[in-house]
Amino acid sequence: MAGGGDHPGANKRKREAAGRPKAPSKGGGDATKRKKTHDAPAAKAKPQPVTAKGKRVAAKEMSESRKMKRKPNYNLEKELAVLWEKMRCRDVSKENRSKLVTEALRKMDGKYFEIAGSHVTARVLQTCVKWCSQPERDAVFVALQPHLLHFSRKKYAVFLVKKLIKLATKKQLALFISSLHGHVASLLRHTIGAAVVDCTFHQATPPQKRSLLLELYSTELQLFKDLTEQKSCSLLETISKLGLQKSSVLQYMTTVIQPVLEKGIVEYSIVHTVILEYLTIADKTSASDVIRQLIPHLTQGSSVVDGDELSGVAEVPTKSKAKKKRSSEPLLIRIMQTREGLKLGLACLKHGSAKDRKKIIKSLKGQVMKLALSDYGCLFLACLLSIVDDTKLLTKVVIEELTKQLKELIFDKNGRRPLLQLLHPLCSRYLTPTDLSCLKYSVPSLISKDEASEGAAKVNLDSKLDDVAEKEHGGSEDTLVASDSKKDPFKRRQELLVKSELFEVLIETCIENVGELLRANFGKDVLYEVAIGGKNNVLEGVTDRIHVLHNAIASDAARPRTEDVEHAFDNYHSSRVIRKMVLDCPAFAATLWEKALKGKSKSFADGFSSKVVAAYLESPDSKVKDLAKSEVQPLIDGGMLKIPDHKAAEKK
């Protein structure tokens, strides 16, 4: 064919020839090679373990080799873990622990950054920082100081950062706070970093706290360094002093607070402070929106919360739920560790709807005692019992749980306060001025002008007509009213005390423990209020049981003096509470006279007991005076008994 091309048949022959095996050479050389290759011994394979123990050992060795390849400091981690187990034991001596810590820090020297990022070795370094000497701690801080902001967002390293902050010197704390400049708002929005900001806030001095807060109020306020030297960090005062526009500050704070509320990062006191300051300048719509978003987060964590709890507000991200383990108790219980947390809870309670208050009460199921025994939780319960109209729900959730542990509550400084609030609301004998101020806290923009002016007029009228009574009782229970409350406060108290049958258990507990209550510093207050029937005679329908209590007190006072037990008239606490009962309750005064004092006044004319005897002639009731005058007056005339002057009597 032209062009020298191969014939199709020739191509076929070539393909057949290519597939045909090559002819062996003389002597069969190729065949010999193939045979030798086939007969060559294979490489020795590692024998497979047969027993179960051998398989476990092999698996462990393989795991170790993989970890060594994946972790460059794996051997160091193992060494540090052994030292950690020894140094954290409780029975190890101080000297041995110091040696172990020094050895661990020597091994970690130069590798602090890598060590702090590991979930294993970060704990070792944290323990070393806790127990090491100050120079060693300073060296660790210097090495990690440029990276602390980075570690503040890390899941495991954040605990090391918090430990360094808590143990930092004043200079080191100031350095760290300066490194936070410009990052406070972003860290507060971070689910992990917020804990670092709050820890720093707790350790900071008042000027340093103000510098942190100013960064959350406005970008403009960060420029005024002299503001940190102010005595007050009130946002309203700051805005007034600098002549700032309230609207611009409100807008900036909204951008800071909104992401925090959406993520549910509301357990920190710095967040409480910022939100409370925000509520002082917020308009009605903005304040209501913040409270509406807060309530689901505060009640979250309880198993009794409704399924539609978060309806109408942004859902807490699933990722953050997985990262942070939620406690079984609602957040409302956890924030009652500070006064700011209490005010935030009261704002939600007072300005939320009736449905919101119902959710709050349901979330407290099983947690009421824990709340009642805490410093600020007891005040929250006192407010709850004073403003919620649904007394049936209160009885079911709150009163029933209080009734089960009534004796413990009566003797406890904080536990007695919810009971005293029912018996004598807002009494200054049992609540400090600061506590009363907290209980009366309200969001300014959510109080109507009519309510504010009416409340102010009532306070002015009370102060003019009965200033002494105002000082004695600390105000009126009407000042604790929810925005939509309709029930009469006196009727609410009667339903919670009498209708719920709380009074029966209360009086029975007082009768059974009358001697101990009389001589107890805190228990005597509940005993006194029950014995006189409460303010405005709220226990009017159960006078028969109260008379039984009077007899029990009088019987204890009628016991002869012995060396084993201090007499009721000779004890500091019991003598004063009995004297007050004589002055305020004529029925008790008559019972006590007949059982314990008649014909025996002379033997009680000195010491603490003289105050009880003299109270009969100080009584405002003429019948009580006439009852004892013939026996007590000669003691006064003879100089054996002295009646304190009016001012001294008022102080008592």
Mean pLDDT in order along the chain per 10 residues (652 residues): 47 49 47 46 60 74 64 78 88 91 91 86 92 94 94 93 95 94 92 95 92 86 59 76 84 93 92 94 93 90 40 40 53 91 94 92 93 95 94 94 94 95 94 94 79 46 39 49 78 92 93 95 95 91 91 94 89 95 94 92 89 92 91 86 58 40
What contacts 607, CB < 8 A, 6 or more positions away? Answer: 570
Q: Whole-angstrom Cα distance, residue 643 to residue 352?
A: 53
Query: How many Å apart are CA 540 and CA 532, to the nearest integer?
Result: 10
Alpha carbon distance 146, 168 (integer Å): 15
Q: 399, 496 in Cβ contact below 8 A?
A: yes
Taking the C-alpha atoms of residue 121 and residue 107, their distance in angstroms, rounded to an integer, is 12
Rounded CA separation 633/521 (Å) = 31
Q: Are 330 and 299 in contact (CB under 8 A)?
A: yes
Query: Of 288, 597, 274, which Cα lies nearest the Cα of 443?
Result: 288
Q: How far apart are CA 584 and CA 579, in angstroms?
A: 9
Residue type (1 letter), 250:
L
Q: What is the pLDDT of residue 45?
A: 57
Alpha-helical runs (H) found in 5-51: 8-19, 29-39
Cα→Cα distances 72→58, 77, 78, 112, 115, Å: 22, 10, 12, 14, 11
pLDDT at 485: 76
Write the CA distances from 95 to 83, 102, 178, 516, 586, integer angstroms: 14, 11, 36, 48, 69
How far lies 624's CA from each of 267, 580, 629, in Å? 56, 13, 9
Q: Copy the structure tokens of residue 538.
A: 């709220």
- 548 within 8 A of 506, measured Cβ to Cβ: no
Tell me, rounded to whole angstroms, the distance of Cα 191 from its chain centroid: 18
**Residue burial 363-379, b: 16+ Cβ < 10 Å; e: rest:** bbbebbbebbbbebbbb
Give the per-residue pLDDT at 451: 52
Contact 352, 294 (CB under 8 A): no
| Inter-residue contact 137 to 169 (CB < 8 Å) | no
Place of tokens 């070795």: 121
CA distance 346 to 387: 11
Identity (one letter) of the amino acid at 571? N
* Cβ neighbours around 436 below 10 Å, total: 17
CA dist 319 and 308 (Å) reads 20
Centre a 10 Å sphere on the Cβ of residue 452 and count the other Cβ atoms it contains: 12
H helix intervals, 204-323:
206-217, 235-242, 246-263, 269-281, 284-299, 318-323
pTM beyond 0.95, yes or no? no
**Helix pair 121-131, 94-108: axis angle to 10 deg:** 130
Q: What pLDDT is attached to residue 486?
A: 82
pLDDT for 58:
72
Contacts of 481 (CB under 8 A, 6+ apart): 350, 387, 489
Kindly give, in sequence order, each residue whose CB lies less than 8 Å from that of residue 558, ignoring residues fewer than 6 positions away.
595, 596
Nearest by Cα to 148 from 164, 137, 136: 164
